[in-house]
Structure 1
Amino acid sequence: MDDTLVSIILPTYNRADYIRSALDSVFSQTFRNWELVIIDDGSTDDTVAVINDYDDSRIVYLYQENRGVSAARNHGIEKCRGQYIALLDSDDEWLPKKLEKQLRYMQENDFEICQTDEIWIRNGKRVNQPKKYSKPEGWFFESSLQMCLISPSCTIFTRKAWDVIGPFDVEMPSCEDYDMWLRACLAYPVGLLSERLTVKHGGRSDQLSNCVPCADLHRIRALVKILQCGKLDADQQAAAMSELGSKAKIYRQGCEKRGKKDEAERVWNLFCMMRDGKNISLNLLR
């Protein structure tokens, strides 16, 4: 693996208090042939000062006006050079042998996409993952419809795979990973190195999952996209339509509880159009 270049894509926005742990975990890797592409998505805190503490030619720093995590990742991947692409969120971290072991597992088992298992830290304390979040291996498109079963910071994929499944949808302020992993699970079997080599931090109020509203609407958009892609077989189409109905129902009920009757009916009517075999514009689901 010595001649394999891994491009680590690390988007960040106002994470000066957390990014140092992510950076330290990259520099602690036993696999050394990497470049670290940091995409600063318009930070206004001390993020640049923290990054400047790391003097290493393997760091590529890119700055952009604030456009969101999808645009940041896309920008970094566009500029990177590696045959393999590893994602790392700026508030997560890796154990030292993560890249070494994962690359070996991918190459020995001929996977284009692979993830590791992970340790969950919530509000500074380690917690056990509910069983429903257990990571599968292989072909699991139908299972991935219900919830996102691939974690960005756990994942490495080849440039060949990126050309098939990318880019991230810049119109989605959240659930952009759910959207892209649906495409990934449709196109490739996904490898799982079942060692907890990624540390995923959560529970803070500033995380996308907590501060971006209407996550259910974004998941509905992702399902409409995959249903309209023209690549699903009959069973996959039926499974995706069933999940779309479930998520549309949940969204409708949530809107009704909040007195948003017009929005509830609008999205439900869009689902009914899909159920009746009509295509709809994604502009209606932003």
Structure 2
Amino acid sequence: MITVVIPLYNKAPYLQRALDSVYTQTAPADEILVVNDGSTDGGGQIAHAQIDPRVRVNDQPNQGVSAARNRGIAAATQPFLAFLDADDWWLPGYLGRIREMIEAHPGAALYGTGFATARADQIVRTYGVRLRGADSQTGFGLVDYFRSATGRLVICASSMVVPKATALAVGGFPVGVPLAEDHEFWARLALQGRFALAPEALARYDVGVPGQAATYWQTGYKMQFDILSYHRFLASEWHGMSRQAARRQTGFVTFCRHELATALLQRLYWNRFDAAEAFCRELCLETLPAGCRLRFGRWLATHRCAQAAWRGLMRMAHGLRVRNK
């Protein structure tokens, strides 16, 4: 029923922990597929040394995490794909909860749980969907991802299970995208249907891997000033909607506004006004709320109202979060 896909690149010290968390699931996986993406630290040897007969290892030259996940999607023999990064891990009840959701909602586009960031096995912060009404009684629900994820994280790359057919239908993960490739994948899936989500944090996302934080912030600082593939995708989908479709997809429209406005705020926060201007001109000036467009237009004309634009955008972003609650 479920293939676990583990992309591996130079995470040898953590791979066994990830695999052990799969072995100890109360509802076992049917197949475990490690895609060794050109590791040079011995991680591939650790994967090949596993004695569990469910483990298969696919070796490939280094192509990036999206290509590794896509290799796993193509090679999987089971109808559902559970993704787990090599430096993350699951609590024993994770796959059991996923199976419950699959049985209750067999047509969902994605199944997932909440997660917790962890450092040295200590929880830093937990994330998850907010359920209401009957869903809060069952412990999971079928939700509109765009409404649930506006202004918050509800899943991570290691807390999602996707039907293989749906993953193939959306083209898998975007290759060559250095940041937010999983967010774009989720958005593509969410346009296909609703997500079955549980709020409990049954996955652990390790933020204490040496070098990971520094690499993330260096990459993130640079990439936030580029035009991300993720933002291009959101803007393209939004611009391509008819007015009637936009009225039906209010959750998606609100989500796009929040994501694009937040990206613009990041550029203004770091005083990268050239990047802010390029971002707006290419992607989102026409899609931002009228008040935001007016403030940004005045700033372009005078270059003296950047702080006013900043304050206005902050109020606008806060308003979007409040309306979504």
Answer whether TM exceeds 0.5 for this pair: yes
Stretch moving more, 74-83 or 27-36:
27-36
Q: Within 5 A, what are the aligned runs for 1:153-172?
A: 153-172=158-177
Structure 1 residue 225 displacement after superposition: 1.0
- Give the counterpart letter for 1:212 in structure 2: T
Change in 2 beyond 3 A, CA 1:182/1:145: farther
Given that 1:12 and 1:40 are in contact with CA atoms closer than 8 Å, whether structure 2 keeps it comes out as yes
Q: TM-score, normalised by structure 2?
A: 0.71
Structure 2 residue 71 is matched with structure 1 residue 75: yes
Structure 1 residue 15 displacement after superposition: 0.3
Structure 1 residue 152 displacement after superposition: 1.8
RMSD of equivalent CA atoms: 2.8
3-state secondary structure, aligned to 1:71? helix
Q: Within 5 A, what are the aligned runs for 1:22-37?
A: 22-37=18-33
Q: TM-score, normalised by structure 1?
A: 0.80
Structure 2 residue 202 is matched with structure 1 residue 206: no
Stretch moving more, 180-189 or 206-215:
206-215
Structure 2 residue 271 is matched with structure 1 residue 256: yes
Q: Which residue of 2 aligns with 1:225?
A: 233
Given that 2:22 and 2:29 are in contact with CA atoms closer than 8 Å, whether structure 1 keeps it comes out as no
In 1, Cα distance between the equivalents of 2:206 and 2:227? Answer: 22
Structure 2 residue 279 is matched with structure 1 residue 267: yes
3-state secondary structure, aligned to 1:103? helix
In 2, Cα distance between the equivalents of 1:219 and 1:29? Answer: 40
Q: Which residue of 2 aligns with 1:115?
A: 112
In 1, Cα distance between the equivalents of 2:227 and 2:183? Answer: 7
Structure label with greater radius of gyration? 2
In 2, Cα distance between the equivalents of 1:203 and 1:215? Answer: 22
Stretch moving more, 72-81 or 207-216:
207-216
Structure 2 residue 45 is matched with structure 1 residue 40: no
Query: Alpha-carbon deviations, 1:104-142, whole Å to 9, x = none?
Result: 22212335221122333124422343xxx4324511314
Gaps in structure 1 of 5+ consecutive residues: 277-286
Query: Alpha-carbon deviations, 1:48-79, whole Å to 9, x = none?
Result: 23223312332221122222111110111111
Task: Kindly indicate which of the two structures has a greater share of residues assigned to helix.
Answer: 2
Given that 1:179 and 1:222 are in contact with CA atoms closer than 8 Å, whether structure 2 keeps it comes out as yes
Given that 1:216 and 1:247 are in contact with CA atoms closer than 8 Å, whether structure 2 keeps it comes out as no
Q: Which residue of 1 aligns with 2:302?
A: none
Structure 1 residue 238 displacement after superposition: 4.2
3-state secondary structure, aligned to 1:96? coil
Structure 1 residue 240 displacement after superposition: 5.0
- Give the counterpart letter for 1:165 in structure 2: V
- Give the counterpart letter for 2:51 in structure 1: D
Identity of aligned residues (%): 26
In 1, Cα distance between the equivalents of 2:253 and 2:67? Answer: 31
Q: Within 5 A, what are the aligned runs for 1:93-132?
A: 93-112=89-108, 113-129=110-126
Query: Alpha-carbon deviations, 1:30-63, whole Å to 9, x = none?
Result: 3335111111111110112322331233222112
Given that 2:235 and 2:284 are in contact with CA atoms closer than 8 Å, whether structure 1 keeps it comes out as no
3-state secondary structure, aligned to 1:153? coil
Change in 2 beyond 3 A, CA 1:97/1:219: farther
Q: Which residue of 1 aligns with 2:83?
A: 87
Q: Which residue of 2 aligns with 1:279?
A: none
Structure 1 residue 150 displacement after superposition: 2.1
